[in-house]
Structure 1
């Protein structure tokens, strides 16, 4: 089985080495040097790859996405018809996202934006101490990443809530679902964390209406996809004081244009889609397991359900 590997140039060799360390017998071709297209039976790819290009490989039996999100694979033309697609559920990827959420929850909770502004102005002023038990966290999405973020925050004493499309239970988390549940959670949320998959139903979920339901002075953390946020609505909420600050790791488009207002906004923290980056050595065993299953005709793990969008 020849495997086509396609990702950012600076990560290609790390992925190749990690996959070969797991199975030295793999025949890995690094895009664009695929050799005979008929040789390629699996493709391990990220957003750098042109999905139309994959139609050149007549014997393709499996695609593996190098991340948890798969919205980039749903864009036209999409994966080749009939080719199963698997995504990653990697412990290091999950823990990295929980770290990012914790980092920014604590920055907002411990008034870091205010203290940095005071530092810039050379002001020595002690702000009132925040109470962890009164800082309510609302998480949009309680999948692998959202549940891990919740479990990281709970031991610190934060009241944690979570919203999902359908009913779901997570120990220690007050859960909500459906349209009415979303509104109910937002009204009680001091820090809103978006970790939803991007689907037609969740696109633009952070908008003027939903931001307006938050208690005045709430914060936003978005580490899901840029398409979840209506930028103009968030900027208006920041400027009015309805939202006190936002930590944003994802945007639409990416890279974030250099003239975008987020770059210079005093209440916005910007990351370059780096909240949690897949570590090849950690993810390689899962990828190789799926390659073996495809070769042997066994059921694949972590298959994408494109009807659900994840």
Structure 2
């Protein structure tokens, strides 16, 4: 049995291979495109694979993403019916909560305004109360729930929305299509932490923006395809939204001519909210491979009917 590493970008591929081999030098790693005897491969480790690569692996049992996202795997044509696995790492969860907290506080405390005032030698203090701001977390998986609890510790009012009920959470949550608008209507700062599926693509659109409170703020750390980019600019220009913080984009790197770069009310970062660290994550992935060898249930298996 062999493990295929299917990552197209050479530097990224070499970095991951080095970490895997340092942890498990005796395992048979095959590196795309030189996979050798295809029938040997039972486990694939991947990031943004080429089209149709999996259909030629007759004994493949599982495909493991090197990140938390798996939407790119489902976009692969002729995907075989095998287990799809994702990374769930406590560090990624904490990193995301830290990033979102910073984005919330930067907007809430008007830090950008004070930076501009400093350049003009202007002294104009103003300090709002966090209890007067309602933050809505769109997506209450492990990362969303942890982010919500982190913001609550900063004394913000927080509510959340998910597809299914979350009775174990000790703050206000909403679920189901019938409650979506109710969730939006009370939100001042909307944080998108959804997985990308056919149902969530383009969910951050013009209609949604006008269901939020006036001067609402958008933080998107989910996926770039969640956002209709022109709708965001339009809603800001119409003063329905006060601005946005974006860490993910439909095209990455963000093209140099993109209007987001120079928009004063849109803050962008280059997809750094939470980043996978190979030395840590490789062990998690190899643990799942060992579970395959021992015929044990995989950890962090994706529900393919939901897409996450």
User: Fold match, TM over 0.5?
Assistant: yes
Q: CA deviation at 1:14?
A: 3.5
| Structure 2 Cα separation of the partners of residues 266 and 127 of structure 1 | 21
| Structure 2 Cα separation of the partners of residues 38 and 11 of structure 1 | 25
| Structure 2 Cα separation of the partners of residues 173 and 19 of structure 1 | 40
| Structure 1 Cα separation of the partners of residues 24 and 76 of structure 2 | 33
Matched, 1:34 2:32: no
Q: CA deviation at 1:62?
A: 1.7
Matched, 1:181 2:160: no
1:296–1:51 Cα change, 3 Å: farther
1:78–1:148 Cα change, 3 Å: farther
1:170–1:140 Cα change, 3 Å: farther
Segment of structure 1 superposing worse, 261-270 or 13-22: 13-22
SS at match of 1:162: strand
> Which residue pairs with 1:19 in the alignment?
20
1:9–1:93 Cα change, 3 Å: farther
Q: CA deviation at 1:76?
A: 4.1
Segment of structure 1 superposing worse, 123-132 or 1-10: 1-10
Matched, 1:108 2:107: yes
Q: How many residue pairs get matched? A: 307
Q: CA deviation at 1:16?
A: 2.6
Matched, 1:275 2:273: yes
**Alignment check: 8 A CA contact 1:92 1:282 kept:** no
**Alignment check: 8 A CA contact 2:188 2:213 kept:** yes
**Alignment check: 8 A CA contact 2:55 2:78 kept:** no
Q: CA deviation at 1:84?
A: 1.6
**Alignment check: 8 A CA contact 1:154 1:172 kept:** no
Q: CA deviation at 1:100?
A: 1.3
Which ranges in structure 2 are unaligned for 5 or more consecutive residues?
A: none
What RMSD, in angstroms, separates the aligned Cα atoms of the two structures? 1.9
Matched, 1:190 2:188: yes
1:270–1:78 Cα change, 3 Å: farther
**Alignment check: 8 A CA contact 1:92 1:279 kept:** no
Q: CA deviation at 1:248?
A: 0.8
SS at match of 2:53: helix
> Which residue pairs with 1:66 in the alignment?
66
> Which residue pairs with 2:253 in the alignment?
255
Which structure would you say has the larger RCO, counting Cα contacts within 8 Å and 6 or more residues apart?
1
Segment of structure 1 superposing worse, 134-143 or 209-218: 209-218
> Which residue pairs with 2:96 in the alignment?
97
**Alignment check: 8 A CA contact 1:290 1:300 kept:** yes
> Which residue pairs with 1:77 in the alignment?
77
Deviations 1:29-79 (A, max 9, x none): 3333333333322111112x2141233333322210111121111214053
| Structure 1 Cα separation of the partners of residues 28 and 90 of structure 2 | 26
> Which residue pairs with 1:264 in the alignment?
262
**Alignment check: 8 A CA contact 1:147 1:170 kept:** no
TM-score w.r.t. the length of structure 1 is 0.92
